[in-house]
Amino acid sequence: MPEILNPTANSVATEQLRGTTSREEVCARIRETGVIPVLRGASPEAALFAAESLAQAGIPIMEIAANRPGALGVISHLVKYAPEIVVGAGSVTDMATAHRCLDIGAKFLASDALMLDMCKFRATEQVAVLPGAFTPSEILAAWGAGADFVKVVPCNAAGGASYIRSLKAALPDVPLIAAGGVTQMTALGLVAAGATALGVGGELIPEQAIRLRQGRRIQELARRFLGFVDNGRIESAGRNDFLTELK
Task: Look at residue 214 in the predicted model and tell me its pLDDT.
Answer: 98
Query: How much helix, strand and coil, in percent to the nearest 5, is found in the chain?
Result: 50, 15, 35
Which of the residue ranges 10-19, 179-188, 228-237 would you say has the lowest mean pLDDT?
Answer: 10-19
Domain 11-246 = CATH 3.20.20.70? yes
What pLDDT digit, counting tens, does each position of 71-128 carry?
999 999 999 999 999 999 999 999 999 999 999 999 999 999 999 999 989 888 889 9
The reported pTM is 0.88
What pLDDT digit, counting tens, does each position of 137-179 carry?
999 999 999 999 999 999 998 899 999 999 999 999 999 999 9
Neighbours of 57 (CB within 10 A): 18
Burial class (CB in 10 A: 0-12, 13-18, 19+), 246: exposed
What pLDDT digit, counting tens, does each position of 49-67 carry?
999 999 999 999 999 999 9
Q: What is the DSSP string of 177-206?
A: EEESS--TTTHHHHHHTT-SEEEE-TTTS-
Task: Look at residue 3 in the predicted model and tell me its pLDDT.
Answer: 34
Q: What is the mean pLDDT of the chain?
A: 90
Does residue 216 register a pLDDT over 60?
A: yes
Task: Look at residue 239 in the predicted model and tell me its pLDDT.
Answer: 67
- Of the pLDDT bands very low, low, confident and very high (cuts 50, 70, 90), residue 129 is very high
Q: Is the dihedral of CA 228, 234, 240, 246 positive or negative?
A: negative
Which residues neighbour 69 within 8 Å (Cβ) at sequence distance 6 or greater? 41
CA distance linking residue 23 with residue 178, whole number of Å: 20
Q: What is the mean pLDDT of residues 39-55?
A: 97
Q: What is the DSSP string of 131-155?
A: -EE-SHHHHHHHHHTT-SSEEETTG
- Of the pLDDT bands very low, low, confident and very high (cuts 50, 70, 90), residue 245 is low
Q: How far, CA to CA in Å, does 234 sit from each of 30, 46, 122, 153, 182?
A: 18, 34, 31, 24, 19
